[in-house]
Structure 1
């Protein structure tokens, strides 16, 4: 079983991916970790590194190739902003999940996780999202706001992680004729 979990920063993708991975006993790969490590290696914030990538598309292309390779192997939960799109554009069968949340909720989650001043985090979050949207449009013609490719779209603003996981597991069960997804 191959599942992609996508969503903007603070929408809950990491929490949900880890919980699903444990529940289904399949590997979880976080594509964004590579991006974060590259930013760190260069001594840049994520928003600065996103801007850098606008001028250096090879960085994004390398990460995207990595995601496609992981998806082709299967039996994985791939978490990444473009994970669902990479499966879609490359014709790789996957259950594509999009998590989204209200901007203020996402900002609160990011501050709780990473600390920092609200104004600074908001600016960084918006800069990063603008940069990503531009790069995805320029590289692949993707409108990151287009939800039509996803099998499940969940607004996580007012939901507990357990509820979100239950929604996904119910979808998987329904898709597989009532069988427990943990045994597929």
Structure 2
């Protein structure tokens, strides 16, 4: 099987869905966010500080990209990350590409549930992170993160359970397989 990429904004459900897919498909799950967090830790910075730092140091994103590209090229993996689908697409690496969307208020609630904090503080952190990432991806890669045309499936997770999201993904994969597109 080719790899699977799963991306979405913070709180859209990518990690939860990736874990369920891992169980269903028996594939390893690699989370690019963990790599980024580890690098921030190595630099002695918070995620927000590190994101701002990366805006001026594209070599950091390039290093992370190379790691992700190598993982994708090996195949048989679920790679979760904001740019994972784009890395697959731009490098011609076969993968089933998933993008999850979700209403901002719901995403804030989910992040609060996971990490704590006050609603407006969490919203501000998420917006700052998204703004930084959007700038980096546009400046360094000429990628418009609002363009979801490269994905095999785009799902709004606002009002559906993670298990339902996975059902939709499995149905789409089955459909594409039967058409010889996967």
| TM-score range normalised by the length of the shorter chain | over 0.9
Distance 2:129 2:103 in 1: 16
TM-score by length of 2: 0.94
Residue of structure 2 in register with 1:42 after alignment: 43
Residue of structure 1 in register with 2:178 after alignment: 177
Q: Deviations over 1:52-75 (max 9, x none)?
A: 100111111111111111111000
Distance 1:132 1:170 in 2: 31
Mind listing any 5+ residue stretches in structure 1 that lack a counterpart? Answer: 179-183
Distance 1:81 1:63 in 2: 12
Distance 2:63 2:24 in 1: 30
Distance 2:49 2:124 in 1: 11
Distance 2:122 2:23 in 1: 31
Mind listing any 5+ residue stretches in structure 2 that lack a counterpart? Answer: none
Distance 2:169 2:45 in 1: 35
Backbone CA RMSD of aligned residues: 1.4
Residue of structure 2 in register with 1:90 after alignment: 91
Residue of structure 2 in register with 1:163 after alignment: 164
Residue of structure 2 in register with 1:127 after alignment: 128
Secondary structure at 2:113 match in 1: helix
Q: Deviations over 1:43-98 (max 9, x none)?
A: 43222211110011111111111111111100011000000000001011111000
Secondary structure at 2:85 match in 1: helix
Moved over 3 A (4+): none
Secondary structure at 1:138 match in 2: helix
> Mapping of 1:19-98 within 5 angstroms?
19-98=20-99
TM-score by length of 1: 0.93
Secondary structure at 2:114 match in 1: helix
Residue of structure 2 in register with 1:111 after alignment: 112
